[in-house]
Homo-oligomer: A and B are copies of this chain.
Amino acid sequence: MIRIGILGYGNLGKGVEGAVCQNPDMELAAVFTRRSPQGVQVRTKGIPVLGVGELAHMRDAIDVLVLCGGSATDLPVQTPEYAGMYNVVDSFDTHARVPGHFAAVDRAAKAAGKIGIISCGWDPGMFSLNRLYANCILPKGQDYTFWGKGVSQGHSDAVRRIAGVRDCRQYTIPVPEAMEAVRSGQCPKLTTRQKHTRECFVVLEEGADPEKIEREIKEMPNYFADYDTTVHFISQEEMAKEHSRLLHGGCVIRTGTTGTAGEHTHVMEYSLRLDSNPEFTGSVLAACARAAYRMHREGMSGAKTMFDIAPAYLSAEDGETLRKHLL
């Protein structure tokens, strides 16, 4: 059994917990929290909840520590720190800071003889893998990534920070005509506005001015100004009833050509439709935790991404079984 520790028990931590329960070769050993452990109730019965300080004493009880904090401030500190003690897996997704994060985790993990897999999930993660495979197979081509329909936590938070807004759920929606143009192999040049639209469901504070708030949302630089945005005002009851699911998804498409004169066009598409973003991401993290465990057992160490993981390491089955049933 692979003994999994989870650090951080928010939506993502709960997603990892659920995934560990689905994998017969894994068991949840402990949940670690920066909050008061007494205040945290985990779903799996009999699992100890420990303060983060206890991680200094749990090396013999945990094979892989899955880090479920945020990319802004948690993971840049936590992943290098705990890669010096455990095999670790994270879902770091701040693209511009990947080189520094990778280097820091690599130093710590190599010094400790551990594996640290960063940026696991679906984007970065499965979408990255599909971009890589498609680029290797079709060097002459063009990549497109569409996100949605799905909830963007960052955009929802940005709207919530506007004075007079009590709650918001923001959906990112790919433009169907843009996706069709890409799938046709035409290699269209698409602006930000042509690729995605945004839709906001907003609950107002009492007395707030809807027209003013709608204008503030639509003109918000970086978040909304470059998009066609629709704003709906709804009640808190409707928000709870209709917009509680953290659904997401999207697709990666590469079109490319082969043939003596480039006369043959190929379209490779990978798409995800997810009812729960954190539960799916947690499921990817669990599979990567298995890979970390197995790569460590084979003597490897250092920072890795999903690019560096032979797919068979993600599976509980042996090579012969995989070749028989999935090849």
Contact = CB atoms under 8 A, between A and B. Distances in A.
A228 interface: no
Nearest to A17: B260
Interface string A120-152: 000010101111110111111000000000000
Contacts of A327: 95, 98, 119, 124, 128, 305, 307
Among A129, A315, A327, max chain B CB count under 10 A is at: A327
Interface in A289-324: 290, 305-312, 314-316, 319-320, 322-324
Contacts of A98: 323-324, 327
A126 B133 contact: yes
A259 interface: yes
B323 A312 contact: no
A186 interface: no
A179 to B, nearest CB: 13
Contact of A23 (B15, B139, B266): B139
A263 B161 CA distance: 31
A129 B268 CA distance: 14
B133 A99 contact: no
A265 B275 contact: yes
Contacts of A18: 258-260
A136 B129 CA distance: 15
A227 interface: no
A264 interface: yes
A128 B183 CA distance: 23
A278 to B, nearest CB: 9
A315 B267 contact: no
Nearest to A265: B275
A43 B279 contact: no
B307 A323 contact: yes
A270 to B, nearest CB: 5
Contacts of A276: 258-259, 264, 266
A53 to B, nearest CB: 30
Contact of A139 (B22, B266, B268): B22
B322 A287 contact: no
Interface in A278-292: 279-280, 282-284, 287, 290
A19 interface: yes
5 pairs of A and B residues whose beta carbons are closest in the complex: A264-B275, A136-B314, A258-B279, A264-B276, A267-B273
15 contacts: A98-B327, A99-B324, A124-B327, A129-B133, A132-B315, A133-B311, A133-B314, A136-B287, A136-B314, A136-B315, A137-B287, A258-B276, A267-B274, A269-B273, A305-B327
Given A18-B260, A259-B279, A264-B279, 16 more contacts: A95-B327, A126-B133, A129-B311, A135-B326, A136-B311, A137-B284, A137-B287, A258-B275, A258-B282, A264-B275, A266-B272, A267-B274, A307-B319, A308-B310, A308-B312, A311-B311
